[in-house]
Amino acid sequence: MQIFETLSATLAKLSAWALFTIGLMLAYEVVARYFFISPTIWAEELSRLVLVWAVFVGAATLIRDDGHIRVTLLTDLLSPPGQRIMRVVTLVFLAIFAAAICWNSLPTVVDSFVRGRTTGSMMDIPSWWMQAAIPVAFGLISIQSLVQIIAVLRQAPNAVRSGGSRDGGLM
């Protein structure tokens, strides 16, 4: 479990740096295009590729940190043991759903790799580079959900966080 926590923290940092890098790439593109009338062929497409990876890989970290938006109107009415049960049920559903997306998206990535599909743009990046973000990210989300299930089950029975604090829960 500690190995996955370390991996998750590392991927969160990489995602943050990737988003920063996108800002630099697009700022460079704006300057090159509007001040030097010399647009790049790489900035938009490369920033899109990096954005897809940063967002999807970062989603697993949000599972770890309880950072996804939740509507807690009903779960806040439950007792702490009831909230704990609902948290586990939600995480089980998420783990299964993410695993299904991971599994069902793999054939698309493999097919694009085998056929040599590309983006058809100026850079002509292989399509599977972007498509691979889906099975990788949803695999990470599934694993992170399982890690969170274990963490919730190890907590004291009454130690459940309320939904309105740091997780963005709505009332």
Query: How many other C-beta atoms can be found within 10 angstroms of the C-beta atom of residue 47?
Result: 21
Higher pLDDT, 137 or 4: 137
Closest by Cα among 105, 104, 99 to 141:
99
The answer to whether 71 touches 39, Cβ cutoff 8 Å, is no
pLDDT tens per residue across span 22-46: 999 999 999 998 899 888 888 888 9
Q: How confident is the model at residue 168, as a pLDDT? A: 44
The domain spans of the chain are 2-154
More confident residue, 155 or 49: 49
Quote the CA–CA distance of 164 and 126 in Å, as a whole number: 43
Tens digits of residue pLDDT in 111-133: 999 999 988 888 888 999 999 99
